[in-house]
Amino acid sequence: MALKISVIIPTYNEAQHIAQTVNMVKKRADQLATLELIIVDASSNDGTQDIVQQLDGVLLCDSPARGRAAQMNYGAAQASANILYFLHADTVPPQDFDRHILAFSKPHQQAGCFRMKFDSSHWWLRLAGWGTRFRYKFCRGGDQSLFVTKALFLKAKGFDESFVICEDLNLIDRLWGETYFGVLAPHVTSSARTYYSKGIWNLQYHFWVLQYKYRRGQDPLRLYGYYQKHVQSQ
């Protein structure tokens, strides 16, 4: 049976989540035999690679560069399938996600994402997840996962590696102008760990600022500088 979807998961120190994510990808696939699972690791030092090496049916790649954009581009270059599905290491896809992606994919519908919900009952995070049902670019983000035909991904020249942060927004903006970008009704479930470790309102405020700065055209280095100062270092 020909491969149809390559699931690409970038990792850096994801020992706590990666085995569960991979197992859930396998469990929730409708046709596991048609999937290719690729983990692209950026020299983790917490044992992530050791864990991945013990998982069946997974291709582990050492990324030559750290950063989600570079890692996902590297994973795409290794992919054998004609549809790429980018998934964060702490995000779980919906049941039969592959069937939903294949059913949506047509010549004029070559990219999209799923709705998203957090693994939290906090009212704001529930509301934020509810907002992902709307088909607007400002409602998009990497936690919702992203699927795109490999042909369109290559045409768009992949992720712009100058974006260490907001790389997903940048690619979605470019795909939006090339095809009908779908938002599929099933939900991925994303970890709220960063919201709780950084503070829900503190992190949400800085994410809003980053989105605003990105939409205003601020250059990637300054975006990353803001992220380092207000999110990464806290």
Instruction: Record the pTM.
Output: 0.96
Rounded Cα distance between 112 and 162, Å, is 23
Number of other residues whose CB lies within 10 A of the CB of residue 173: 16
Rounded Cα distance between 146 and 45, Å, is 27
Pick the CATH number of 5-191 from 3.40.190.10, 3.20.20.140, 3.90.550.10, 3.20.10.10: 3.90.550.10
Write phi, then psi, for 177 (nearest 5 degrees).
-85, -5
pLDDT for 142 equals: 83
Assign residue 155 a region: left if phi > 0, alpha if psi is -120 to 50, beta otherwise?
alpha
Residues comprising the chain, all counted: 234
pLDDT for 47 equals: 95
Helical (H) or strand (E) element with 19: helix 18-28
Rounded Cα distance between 196 and 202, Å, is 10
Residue by residue, pLDDT tens for the chain (234 residues) are: 577 999 999 999 999 999 999 999 999 999 988 899 999 999 999 999 999 999 999 999 999 999 999 999 999 999 999 999 999 999 999 999 999 999 999 999 999 999 999 999 999 999 999 999 999 998 998 899 999 999 999 999 999 999 999 999 999 999 999 999 999 999 999 999 999 999 999 999 999 999 999 999 999 999 999 999 999 876
Residue 56 bridge partners (DSSP)? none
Amino acid identity of 72?
M
- Give the rounded distance of the alpha carbon of 46 from its chain centre: 21
- DSSP state, 229? I
pLDDT for 232 equals: 86
pLDDT for 178 equals: 96
pLDDT for 45 equals: 96
